[in-house]
Amino acid sequence: MKVLVTGGAGFIGSHVVDLLLENGYEVVVVDDLSTGRRVNLNPKAKFYQLDIRDPEVERVFEMERPDFVSHHAAQVDVRRSVADPFFDAEVNILASIKLIEYARKFAVKRFIYISSGGAAYGEPEYLPCDENHPINPICQYGASKHTVEHYLFMYQWMYGLNYTVLRYPNVYGPRQDPFGEAGVVAIFTGNMLKGNPVIINGDGEQTRDFVYVEDCARANLLALTVEHENGIYNLGSNRGASINEVFSLLKTITHYPLEKQHAPAKLGETRYIYLTAEKIQKSLGWRITFSLEEGLRKTAEYFQKVEMSGT
């Protein structure tokens, strides 16, 4: 069986590629390396350096005839989505529609789409958020990621294209970029290991649902191997961790000597969010296997060994 992974040189996508290869799948990666890194590419995967907006992607489908698609490539920066909503929509909506159309045209068996379990819900009406929670995004990124879910529902209804939407929480772990626009864990870890100041936007009491990257990769594998209904599935830990809590844990793990600093909160960010993964637990048998402290420790060890050493 062959899987086409968009964004397969990226932080999360590369872990998905590795796990698929370990389990006997043939993998094709499409990535433009704008945020992904060549060093993340598994040499056993076939690689096409292409922007998902490029018409040449259709030729990849035609030549490779993938059985499955795992669509990770996206514009993921909330601040950029606010500043440039046209670019956000072009990458996250229009390019995704093209991929879905290619999947229909070339008879893909299942389309796995990575959506947002934080930005799409907006400010929660109740916690933890389940899949029935109202969708009220407060930033363009959340709106763009959710829009594609509707297209998948329509393509299943009209053409029989099977699909699985995985609404990711805040994913962290090895290979997340600690130097650019990245998740808070990577940024904090990179700054702590270098002895630089750590700046928290807002008071730090905002909560997020942090899930280790290997757990997210395993959800993608289960979506291919376990029979389940088409639809939307949250990934989550069923608890919220504050940014201050993450800082304190990493401070202890890295022996960071400085205190945190604060800056103004970022526009368009949700205050409190965490998700229940009860649906995917029942349907696919997925559950968290790494605690927050364990995952942070593994992340810090990776950054110390690889990112900070340049190896």
Q: How many whole angstroms separate alpha carbon 246 and alpha carbon 237?
A: 15
Cis upstream peptide for 128 (omega within 30°): yes
Cβ neighbors of 21 (< 8 A, separation 6 or more) are 27, 42, 44, 45
Active-site residue among 25, 102, 113, 141? Answer: 141
Q: How many whole angstroms separate alpha carbon 83 and alpha carbon 72?
A: 22
Q: How many whole angstroms separate alpha carbon 121 and alpha carbon 142?
A: 8
DSSP structural state of residue 144: H
Helix (H/G/I), strand (E/B), else coil: 292: helix
Q: Is 141 a catalytic residue?
A: yes
Q: How many whole angstroms separate alpha carbon 283 and alpha carbon 228?
A: 6
Containing 167, the helix (H) or strand (E) segment is strand 162-168
Count CB neighbours of 188 within 10 A: 27
Cβ neighbors of 59 (< 8 A, separation 6 or more) are none
Residues in a beta bridge with 146: none
Count CB neighbours of 263 within 10 A: 9
Which of 228, 36, 103, 174 lies closest to 220, judged by CA?
A: 228
Q: Per-residue DSSP letters for 33-64?
A: SSSS-GGGS-TTSEEE---TTSTHHHHHHHHH
Which of 118, 114, 144 lies closest to 275, judged by CA?
A: 118
DSSP structural state of residue 267: T
Catalytic residues: 141
